[in-house]
Amino acid sequence: MRDARSKVLEFTDALRARDDARLRSLATCVIETAGVRDARLRYLEPLRSIRFGALDSLSNLYAEAHRIADSLYAAAPDSAADLEARFDRARSLARRAAATRAALRAAEQSGSSTPARSASARDGELRSIRAHVLVRYGGEAVGPDPIDRDTLVRLIRAPGGGWVVFAFDLASDSPGPLPY
């Protein structure tokens, strides 16, 4: 857990410094730093485990579910009573699919430092953790007073590998509880 905390602190340092090159090396997701003024780790949630094969299956499941939900939303007439609910469902599944794809890339990146680790990453049990980070936003887009937002940073680690960030979302926009 200490190494996960260290990685999150390294991530928040790079976020505060708006060091895009460092953030790209730490994360497999897109991170916008334009309005970020500060970032502080609040707490870490307990570790979770998932096998690589299960994560791969979830990725396929969320991608297919998103495709179906998107098709149902697009096919609905504008007068449909549940149009907003269809849109919300398609958006939620899109976020889950994107987070799971990023987790797969992060798991592969974590286990790719040596060929032996790469093979064990695909067979072994992955560890994941969620960190709650308080991010202060400021600037023209925010207004005269800075605002603080609770943000979830999700990390994953392959057996023998290092922690890699795969999601950086406002808590209110997070894809919700994921099984990893």
Please report, to the nearest 10 degrees, the dihedral formed by the alpha carbons of residues 138, 140, 141, 146 taken in order: 20
How many Å apart are CA 128 and CA 119, to the nearest integer? 19
In a domain, 20, yes or no: yes
pTM of the entire structure?
0.83
| 141, 35 Cβ separation under 8 angstroms | yes
In a domain, 110, yes or no: yes
| Residue 121: alpha-carbon gap to chain centroid | 19
Of the chain, the end-to-end C-alpha distance in Å amounts to 16
- The parent domain of residue 148 ranges over 2-173
In a domain, 58, yes or no: yes
In a domain, 143, yes or no: yes
> What SS3 class is residue 142?
coil
Predicted confidence (pLDDT) per residue in 19-46, tens digit: 999 999 999 998 988 889 999 999 999 9
In a domain, 139, yes or no: yes
In a domain, 180, yes or no: no
Q: Sign of the C-alpha dihedral, residues 16, 25, 174, 177?
A: negative
Total structural domains within the chain: 1
In a domain, 178, yes or no: no
Q: Which of 174, 154, 125 is nearest to 8 (CA)?
A: 154
Q: What is the pLDDT along the chain (180 residues), one digit of tens a residue?
A: 899 999 999 999 999 999 999 999 999 998 988 889 999 999 999 999 999 999 999 999 999 998 998 888 888 777 777 888 888 888 888 989 999 999 999 999 998 865 554 555 466 899 999 999 999 999 888 888 999 999 999 999 999 999 999 999 998 887 766 776
Q: What is the pLDDT of residue 123?
A: 66
Q: Which of 32, 22, 23 is nearest to 169 (CA)?
A: 32
